[in-house]
Amino acid sequence: MTQRSHTQPSLSCRTPRRNTESPSTRHSCKSTGGRIAREREKADYAFAARRKIIERIGLTQVRNYRLNLLSQEERSFQEQLDQKAHALPELTTLIVIRVVSSECEVRRA
């Protein structure tokens, strides 16, 4: 029996979802916290769909192997989202201005 490489076909669910969110919901998702929460919700849906597909596999060893891969991928994705949630913006100095008093002395020689 030959071993397969780790490049297995993606088991992602490609079913399109309709946009059922209201305009106010879309606006609130533009903030960092809302965007991450929406991304987490979409990921949960995708992982659940993939898990459901994998659970249909008849061979126990294959099913368990793919479920383990999926759970590892899910943990990795959740860790990345947690890191995004705690990310700090980078501040870069663009210009430095020195303000001097408007009272000027005129010196004559």
pLDDT the model gives residue 11: 47
- Are 13 and 49 in contact, with CB atoms under 8 Å apart? yes
Residue-wise pLDDT for 44-83, tens only, equals 999 999 999 999 998 999 999 999 999 999 999 999 999 9
Model confidence pTM above 0.75: no
Q: Which alpha helices (DSSP H) does the chain contain, by range?
A: 23-28, 32-54, 60-85
Residue-wise pLDDT for 30-39, tens only, equals 566 788 899 9
Per-residue CA distances from 79 to 34, 37, 49 (Å) = 17, 14, 20
pLDDT the model gives residue 98: 86
pLDDT the model gives residue 106: 65
